[in-house]
Amino acid sequence: MTLISDRPRLARAWSLFREGLRGSERDFTQGAVGPALVVLAIPMVLEMCMESLFAVVDVFFVSKLGADAVAAVGLTEAMLTIVYSVAMGLVIGATAVVSRRIGERDPEGAAVAAVQVIALGLLLSASLGVIGVTFARPLLGLMGASEAVLAEPARYAVVMLGGCGSVVMLFLNNAIFRAAGDAAVAMRVLWLANAINIVLDPMLIFGLGPFPALGVMGAAVATTFGRSLGVVLQLYLLTRGTGRIQIRWRHVRLAPAVMWSVCRISGSGMVQILVDTTSWVVLVRLIATFGSPAVAGYTIGIRTVLFAILPSWGLSNAAATMVGQALGAGKPERAEAAVWTACRYNTFFLGVIGALFVGLAPQIVGIYTTDPVVAAGAVACLRIVSLGFVFFASGMVLTQAFNGAGDAWTPTWINVGCFWVWQMPLAYVLAISLGMGPTGVYWAVTIAFSTLAVVSAVIFRRGRWKLERV
């Protein structure tokens, strides 16, 4: 009897899933909040899964080369977080401005805003690439890399930092699609980029078939090439003229007022993400004092955590898009309802994943490494950080809700307090002063992110974000 009564519910769920995969034509400023959020979130969640898969695939193959190779990947990723902060800052500006114009039924304004975002992304990509190639090895040294890492494995950093523009543009263009409600397009682009990376990774790392054995550098070449082809596809789709965003030659111009709006929100967004990511850099530097095995264990544990958290960012991005479009349509109550609904969905999802990670940590880590020292560190990282997943869930949604409304400074100041003032000193005290080692750093991460969730919820309820003008 229960199975029969559940059939309509399962049919509705399957219908929403299919709608999300193939791309929805619905107006996200109208109708029930829950189904709209689910349809918008499904391709965003899958997109984030694909983005996190880049990291997991690289570590899986590179781990066969030893701890020094994995350490090179981990330290490079820590430095790339600075690049991600720039990209994510622009993503915040793109999401807020484009989604607001879509909510206002202004597709021309949305296209002009998209052009300003792309122009900023290209300029930053070129600058960051030159800096990356020039200073890759010195930066690895500053991060505490051993002499073994600074030798052959350092080539991974040179390629990844030199080609970091592909990351920036991939993030930005997909943000434009998501803000317009074309999340399925962004998802398909990541499918292509990941398929290329998965195929090329083992070929270039181990020299399969006609390809030379490039070692750890092969992972960087495969990832950068896959992302770059994804960017080419994005630009084609944006100019093809069949989506919700249609860029034409008349839109390719400097619009000072729009540029300023994007820069204003993106600037505060960059500071916000920079505060977050620099705290991660400091944590990695702290862990590096305990040697390459500790860094390798941290890298495996955090990469696995990101595999779970990035899909949750997909749901958070869906909430941000609905906030921007609802405010543009003059419906602040709909924006707030979407946020709390997303919090509930995300808490359930991450709560389940966290429980699985705590219980199955040794088995999960065993996929990546058989080194007992590295495995022990990775298991500790995975279990301790997963304990805070229930809090992380709401914190991510609330942060993106502020950003979707164009209020990027509120989460920025929350980040300053929770990460710089609270997390970094706490990590040092636990790891060094109290002698807990890397385990102390993992506890500091869990405590700081839990604090951020509570503070964000209190401030969000005050409702000042509803008055933000974009």
Give residue 147's domain range: 32-467
Q: Is residue 27 part of a domain?
A: no
Q: Is residue 214 part of a domain?
A: yes
- Contact (CB, 8 A) for 157 and 137: yes
- The per-residue pLDDT of the chain, averaged, comes to 90
- Contact (CB, 8 A) for 37 and 318: yes
Cα atoms found within 13 Å of the Cα of residue 385, Cβ hemisphere only: 24
Query: What pLDDT does residue 60 have?
Result: 83
Average pLDDT over residues 88-113: 93
Average pLDDT over residues 283-288: 91
Rounded CA-CA distance 101/455 in Å is: 30
Question: How far are the Cα atoms of 327, 402, 412, 413 from residue 407, in angstroms, in the given order?
Answer: 12, 5, 9, 11
CA angle, residues 274, 380, 385, in degrees to nearest 5: 40
φ and ψ at 389, to 5 degrees? -60, -35
When pLDDT is cut at 50, 70 and 90, the band that residue 86 belongs to is confident
Residue 312 has pLDDT above 70, yes or no: yes
Q: At what angle do helices 2-22 and 183-206 cross, to 10 degrees?
A: 80
Rounded CA-CA distance 457/398 in Å is: 7
Rounded CA-CA distance 395/459 in Å is: 12
Q: Is residue 9 part of a domain?
A: no
Rounded CA-CA distance 91/85 in Å is: 10
Residue 399 has pLDDT above 50, yes or no: yes
When pLDDT is cut at 50, 70 and 90, the band that residue 36 belongs to is very high
DSSP 313-350: HHHHHHHHHHHHHHHHTT-HHHHHHHHHHHHHHHHHHH
Rounded CA-CA distance 430/443 in Å is: 8
Q: Is residue 18 part of a domain?
A: no
Residue 7 has pLDDT above 90, yes or no: no
Residue 404 one-letter amino acid: G
Residue 404 has pLDDT above 50, yes or no: yes
Query: What pLDDT does residue 352 have?
Result: 94
Q: Is residue 379 part of a domain?
A: yes
Residue 459 has pLDDT above 70, yes or no: yes
Query: What pLDDT does residue 232 have?
Result: 95
Query: What pLDDT does residue 6 have?
Result: 61
The total number of structural domains in the chain stands at 1
Query: What pLDDT does residue 135 have?
Result: 86
Residue 358 has pLDDT above 80, yes or no: yes
Residue 311 has pLDDT above 80, yes or no: no
Rounded CA-CA distance 277/294 in Å is: 20
Rounded CA-CA distance 113/103 in Å is: 14
For the chain, give percent helix, strand, coil, nearest 5: 85, 0, 15
Residue 132 has pLDDT above 90, yes or no: no
pTM of this prediction? 0.83
Rounded CA-CA distance 450/243 in Å is: 39
Average pLDDT over residues 121-150: 85
Query: What pLDDT does residue 3 have?
Result: 47
Query: What pLDDT does residue 70 have?
Result: 83
Q: Is residue 21 part of a domain?
A: no
When pLDDT is cut at 50, 70 and 90, the band that residue 411 belongs to is very high
Q: Is residue 22 part of a domain?
A: no
Q: Is residue 151 part of a domain?
A: yes
Of the chain, the percentage scoring pLDDT greater than 70 comes to: 98
Average pLDDT over residues 248-262: 92
Residue 150 has pLDDT above 80, yes or no: no
Per residue in 359-376, pLDDT tens? 999 999 998 888 999 999
When pLDDT is cut at 50, 70 and 90, the band that residue 155 belongs to is confident
Per residue in 43-71, pLDDT tens? 988 887 777 677 678 878 888 888 888 88
